[in-house]
Amino acid sequence: MINKRLLIRNLLNHNDENTFFDKKRKIDLDCKEGKAKFLKHICALSNSNPYNNAFIVVGVDDDTNSLLGVDFFDDSRIQDLINSCLVNPPKIGYENISFSSLQGHKVIALVTIYPLSGLTFLKKNFWKYNKGMVFYRKGSTSTVASTKIIPNKHNKGLVNRLENSSSNTLELTLQGVCDFMAVHPQNRSPRFQVFKDSFVLCWAGEKLIDSGVVYYRRVDIQLVKEQVRLFYSTLDRVQIQFGKDAFVVTEYVSLGIDNVRSYYPLEKTVFHFKDNGKHVILREFLFECPDFDTRHLHHVFNTNTAVLKKLEAGFDLENSELEVLKGFPNTYLICSLQGIEKAEENLKSARKYLKNLDDKFPYIKYKEAMRLLRKVKYK
């Protein structure tokens, strides 16, 4: 079993960017340009490696290899993007890998492109790239293929040796459990659970009881042998259940206007562990948007928009307007869910203002709002 943290270190320590390995500071899947460039690299690495896995490591400084980290990304629908935009799409894995040197909410992302025979190319026009374009790796660059691609069979042996040298050991597993316990404060009750005598799952969360029901917040779940972070949530209400074969997590999202808020089921994630040494992750989207008064929502939307325009014009905000800005993630989210045009677009435009606030809580809520809108869009 491959220890993904060790694999990343081996990739960074022993291999410059090449025909089977690329590294990025970040990828942006919220805009068309970011998606297009991601598709380009997936296509190029797939075409250049039909006999072995290829990798993209995200969250790393290009020049120094320093681990900078990116936000935990739990969108399981990234494969849908690949399938909808590429002909002969490869299967890919997107995993969040924890490192103790990073801030608690940061990870290094490992994208694995699995080998595939046949040529992969664009199914349709996308950003600046035209339908039918074929990409391949030329050294450390993803480029357009103008002639027939000749795969590098030498990569198979290199990648096999790299993966073999990244195999897990009992010592690494125990060290992973100790690391998890050490980085989580005691009020989050870090603990571990063993499934099928093969899987060691560590989890932590701050316990709270509401109306007799046990919830957790700031929940972190990691699969220790692989050093993969399976789940991370800053939401205030998360329920956890587990048995001998499965670990079940249910998230709740808080919504409301004028300080009147309620919690609604968002998504259930089931980690199911099998006897054959494999595990599967099943997700069920539970969210149903409640109804809000349409007239009042339009009033809220207009108030938000006036504050946003004032910011874009370069004016300072009054204290009351600053409070409106801090509420953007909640109010624009509800407006968007209720079908008010441009609500999501305005929320995205407000991102830079929310990010620059001294109070970081609104920006955290912004990321949660965008995550929910993304899930609603692809449910």
- What is the longest distance spanned by two Cα atoms in the chain? 67
Task: Please say whether the beta carbons of 98 and 229 come within 8 A.
Answer: yes
Which candidate, 172, 6, 24, 190, places its Cα nearest to that of 104?
190
CATH 3.30.200 fits 4-164, yes or no: no
For the record, the structure tokens of 213 come out as: 């029901």
Q: What is the C-alpha separation between 136 and 151, in angstroms, rounded? A: 9
Say what the pLDDT of residue 379 is: 65
Write out the two tokens for 25: 């500071």
For helices 361-378 and 328-337, the axis angle rounded to 10 degrees is 20
pLDDT, position 264? 94
Give how far Cα 252 sits from Cα of 202, 231, 235, 331, Å: 21, 14, 7, 17
Structure tokens at 376: 């609603």
State how far the Cα of 154 lies from the Cα of 157, in Å rounded to an integer: 6
**pLDDT at site 234:** 83
Q: What is the pLDDT of residue 151?
A: 73
Of 11, 293, 252, 27, nearest in space to 142 by CA: 27
CB 290 within 8 A of CB 324: no
> Cα–Cα distance between 319 and 99 in angstroms, integer?
39
Strands 106-113 and 54-58, how do they pair? Answer: antiparallel
| Residue pLDDT tens, the chain, 379 long | 799 999 999 999 877 778 999 999 999 887 889 999 999 999 999 999 999 999 999 999 988 889 999 999 877 678 888 999 999 999 999 999 988 888 878 999 999 999 998 999 999 999 999 999 999 998 888 889 877 777 778 899 999 999 999 988 889 899 999 999 998 999 999 999 999 988 999 999 999 999 899 999 999 999 998 889 999 988 889 999 999 999 999 999 999 988 888 999 999 999 999 998 889 999 999 999 899 999 999 999 999 999 999 999 999 999 999 999 999 999 999 999 999 999 999 999 999 999 999 998 899 899 889 988 988 876 6
Token pair 């808020």 in the structure block, residue: 261
Domain range annotation of the chain: 4-164, 170-285, 294-378
The CA-based angle 279-280-281, given to 5 degrees, is: 130
Q: What's the pLDDT at 337? A: 94
Contacts of 332 (CB under 8 A, 6+ apart): 301, 304, 343, 344, 346, 347, 350, 369
What's the chain's length in residues?
Answer: 379
